[in-house]
Homo-oligomer: A and B are copies of this chain.
Amino acid sequence: MRTGIATVCLSGTLKEKMQACAIAGFDGIEIFEQDLVTSPLSPEDVRKMAADLGLGLDLYQPFRDFDSVSEGLLQENLRRADAKFKLMSRLGMDTILVCTNVGTATIDDDDLRAEQLSRLAELAGDHGVKVAYEALAWGKYVNDYEHAHRLVAAVDHPNLGTCLDSFHILSRDWDTAPIEAIKPEKIFFVQVADAPKLSMDVLSWSRHYRVFPGEGQFELAKFMGHVARAGYSGPVSLEVFNDVFRQSDVERTAVDAMRSLIWLEEQSAKWLDANASATPGGVAGATPAKAAGRRRYPMELATLPKVAEPAGFNFAEVKTDGPAQLETLLGQLGFTFDGRHRTKDVQLWSMGHARVIINEQAPSHSQPAIAALGFDVDSPVIASARAQQLKAPVVPRKVQADEEVFQGIAAPDSTEIFLCQGNPDGTAAWTREFGEGLERPSGGTRAVIDHVNLAQPWQHFDEAVLFYTSALALEPQPFAEVPSPSGLVRSQVMQTSDRAVRLVLNLAPLLQQGDRKSYQEHIAFAVDDLVATARAARERGLEFLRIPANYYEDLDARFALDPAFLATLKELNLLYDRDANGEFLHFYTATVGSVFFEMVERRGNYDGYGAPNAPVRHAVQYDSLHSRN
């Protein structure tokens, strides 16, 4: 698949954008006109730079408001087009995007439009330019790709073809199956963008909220499957207007963008495999590509090393050079100190299958912070190969000759993700490096890591969703919003289908993001009997997060709980939730550095995180943070 990206997706100058695209490995770019107009580079400079960087200049865009106009205005538009065609020749570009008229269209007549497009195609032909005509979702008269293509087909000129843009098609819920009915030589260009499903006017949605494939909710693999079945083999290029990407680091965004196309390529191939025998919906009769006797998918779709979703958390690692408070906390929760690593300044603590590493190899005065997570995968090498092909940065970890080699990659928030050999019995061979017999789960309380809650920098939130989706096969859930005294916290759950791994990506309110203290993260452990665990922890002197009495009154008003049970909850500072699937009991510890712990008990098939209780947790944490100061 030939990969491309429009310069409008990225921040910086045209030069910076082109360099970042080359570094990220794109085959070509679309030049967004404004990026050229505002650049000190001459068209000839741009042409040379692209050649030097190995970047194709695949599309000049956009040319707006051409058709459906009076003859006088058409003459002006042809003059304007002529100037752009000449410019393209200096750039060495051969394809221009012309979108359907939004601003100046006054005449709704397909015959007139076809005639006007025909004159444009004729002029383009004189300059050796191909016009890719695209239906904008909010085009005044033409807003549907099939309508746009009917015009292209009616004109039937070699210099006029169709541009398919997934946003304009999927935002309007147009059926994508009829794409297969378009002759491949008439599809001049394909643009892809994903988007969250928002209920707002399509223009604002398009201009601010597009995201890279895998970061939204559009069925892009299906869209691409139809495009491939149509026989298209040209560039697949990202055109993503996004307020965040436009301002964030250009090289990093370009890599995120490239990752999204690599992932989309794999997903498209999968969709084609899964739908190989299906008759495409919406198109009567045989598959047009087949009927035409063409090769089925001239677009080459590269594959990636395959991974299944992780089987569970292997460990969680907290980094600090002052571990005393952390050690106390883990001990009070019921964790056992298993030992120190034989060569590194690292401690291992465990409780049942839950393992916590305290890594003391930290700069001095480092407050405890979650630094790494280990995931159980079938094959760490295959998983690592996949992640690296998806351009995840590799984390180097020093190992001795006889120690286990950890395959590590860096998540967008800098958390180190280790891909570990998971055993069905939950053991981990590497624990031997901390002492004999540690690969077996420790006795006592049965426990597992239930979920880990990571705070995300706002400018890398979408990137993080794609990272965990593509590299770790986690599935994003609909996001929630939780009020806190510092503002709304966005919470995005990423999980496996069996819930063995639950990762919660939190987006703190903007004003809090610079403040490490209020940017708290946590690790939650699940046990079988939370009340017993809490009592034992209290015996050991654990400082619980103190839940206000008002909470228990409200709980009673909502659930009419058994008075003895309610008294127990209140006595132990436990929180409670209930829904149609089951019950949820949980408590929180005080915060050390930027880390705290949660213990949970899931009863029945309760699948949530006690969301109604999250505001209480935030309020109490805020209060204790502010009263401490």
A residues within 8 Å of B by Cβ?
A: 8, 11-13, 16, 33-34, 36-43, 76, 79-80, 83-84, 87, 198-201, 204, 207-208, 243, 246-248, 458-459, 481, 483, 485-488, 509-512, 546, 548-551, 553-554, 556-558, 560, 615-616, 618-620, 622-623, 626
A600 CB to nearest chain B CB (Å) = 20
Which chain B residues lie closer than 8 Å to A556 at the CB level?
Answer: 83
A527 CB to nearest chain B CB (Å) = 26
Knowing A199-B201, A201-B200, the reply to whether A38 touches B548 (Cβ < 8 A) is yes
Cα–Cα, bound, A16→B84 (Å): 60
A408 CB to nearest chain B CB (Å) = 28
Knowing A487-B243, A558-B80, the reply to whether A43 touches B550 (Cβ < 8 A) is yes
* Contact assessment for A560 and B37 in the assembled complex, using a CB-CB cutoff below 8 Å: no
* Residue of B whose beta carbon sits closest to that of A620: B38
Which chain B residues lie closer than 8 Å to A84 at the CB level?
Answer: 557
The one of B43, B199, B616 that contacts A204, using a Cβ cutoff of 8 Å:
B199
12 A–B contact pairs at CB < 8 A?
A13-B619, A13-B626, A37-B550, A38-B616, A42-B550, A80-B558, A83-B556, A83-B557, A199-B201, A246-B483, A459-B510, A510-B510
Knowing A485-B12, A486-B247, the reply to whether A38 touches B615 (Cβ < 8 A) is yes
Query: How many subunits of this chain does the assembly comprise?
Result: 2
Which chain B residues lie closer than 8 Å to A511 at the CB level?
Answer: 247-248, 459
Which chain B residues lie closer than 8 Å to A247 at the CB level?
Answer: 486-488, 509-512
* Residue of B whose beta carbon sits closest to that of A42: B549
Name the prevailing secondary structure of the A interface residues: helix
Cα–Cα, bound, A485→B10 (Å): 8
Which chain B residues lie closer than 8 Å to A36 at the CB level?
Answer: 550
Interface centre among A40, A207, A243, A623 (most CB of B within 10 A): A40
A111 CB to nearest chain B CB (Å) = 28
Which chain B residues lie closer than 8 Å to A554 at the CB level?
Answer: 33, 37
* Contact assessment for B79 and A560 in the assembled complex, using a CB-CB cutoff below 8 Å: yes
* Contact assessment for B509 and A623 in the assembled complex, using a CB-CB cutoff below 8 Å: no
A602 CB to nearest chain B CB (Å) = 23
Cα–Cα, bound, A248→B615 (Å): 18
Cα–Cα, bound, A37→B550 (Å): 5
A364 CB to nearest chain B CB (Å) = 27
Cα–Cα, bound, A93→B187 (Å): 68
A159 CB to nearest chain B CB (Å) = 20
Cα–Cα, bound, A546→B38 (Å): 11
Cα–Cα, bound, A560→B36 (Å): 19
Which chain B residues lie closer than 8 Å to A12 at the CB level?
Answer: 485, 622
What 8 additional pairs, Cβ within 8 angstroms, besides A38-B548, A38-B615? A13-B626, A33-B554, A37-B616, A38-B620, A80-B557, A87-B557, A199-B204, A200-B201
Which chain B residues lie closer than 8 Å to A509 at the CB level?
Answer: 243, 246-247
* Contact assessment for B11 and A485 in the assembled complex, using a CB-CB cutoff below 8 Å: yes
* Residue of B whose beta carbon sits closest to that of A458: B510
* Contact assessment for A34 and B246 in the assembled complex, using a CB-CB cutoff below 8 Å: no
A69 CB to nearest chain B CB (Å) = 15
* Residue of B whose beta carbon sits closest to that of A87: B553
Q: State the 7 A-B residue pairs at the shortest beta-carbon distance, nearest first.
A: A247-B487, A38-B619, A83-B557, A200-B200, A199-B201, A247-B509, A246-B487
Which chain B residues lie closer than 8 Å to A548 at the CB level?
Answer: 37-40
Which chain B residues lie closer than 8 Å to A11 at the CB level?
Answer: 485-487
